Amino acid sequence: MTFPNKKYDNVSLYANAYFEKIRLAGESVDRNQLALAAEHLGELYDKGNCLFVCGNGGSAAISGTFVADHVKLIRSDTTLIPRVYSLVDNISTVTAISNDISYDDVFSYQLSVYAKPGDTLLTVSSSGDSENVVRAATWAKSNEMPVIAFTGFEGGRSADLATINLHVAADNYGVIEDTHQSLMHILAQYIRLAAMPDSLVEQRKF
């Protein structure tokens, strides 16, 4: 049965149940895959290659926040150069591709223009089956571009296409998206911690 599968007498009880699902969702993430993602992104930023991020709806918002946190946070107090770009945030380009070609190609088309050897794609999709996300991952894989996929539910096609899959074993969109947002923050903060001088760690806010 999915969550929620019943009504609750008050919001506090629902909050207790929701936060318990958040805890379980966090525990479900494969720590080996998380370590691979942190290592890959750290090396990517160290080399100055680009990370392209995409998603729809709440996942689109996570894509935009990914840029802010990884560019601003990781660049602070480190020598890393995080070149992170959301394929969602240029509304003129997104609507032009959607109108003239297809919304299904809105991310893959941009990759065909912007991506270079050495770059990486990171997809955010709770279902893992959003057609435009799947097409972006398919394009990346066909062009030997690594794919990090944030997924939920059953993982979908994105999980199968991923080089590294950060899968959240949950069946509620809010819980999955909250956990994806946490993974974004965990990666940003850990990569910054690993790259910054020890003497500054206690002086900084994260």
Tens digits of residue pLDDT in 47-79: 999 999 999 999 999 999 999 999 999 999 999
- At residue 202 the predicted structure's pLDDT band, cuts being 50, 70 and 90, is confident
pLDDT of residue 9: 97
Q: Count Cβ neighbours within 10 Å for each residue of 78-91 and write b for 16 or more, e otherwise.
A: bebebbbbbbbeee
For residue 122, the 8-state DSSP code is E
* Residue 205 CB burial class (10 angstroms; 0-12, 13-18, ≥19): exposed
pLDDT digits (tens, 9 = 90+) for 122-179: 999 999 999 999 999 999 999 999 999 999 999 999 999 999 999 999 999 999 999 9
Tokens of 57: 């709806």
Query: What's the pTM value of the predicted model, to 2 decimals?
Result: 0.95
pLDDT at 90 over 80: yes
Tokens of 24: 């379980």
DSSP for 28-77, written as a single string: HS-HHHHHHHHHHHHHHHHHT-EEEEEESTHHHHHHHHHHHIIIIIHHTT
Check the CA dihedral 179-116-44-158 and report its sign.
positive
Rounded CA gap, 178 and 194, in Å? Answer: 24
What CATH code would you report for 11-196? 3.40.50.10490
Check the CA dihedral 165-166-169-170 and report its sign.
negative
Q: Mean per-residue pLDDT for 187-197? A: 95
Give the helix/strand (H/E) hosting 164. strand 164-167
* Domain range annotation of the chain: 11-196
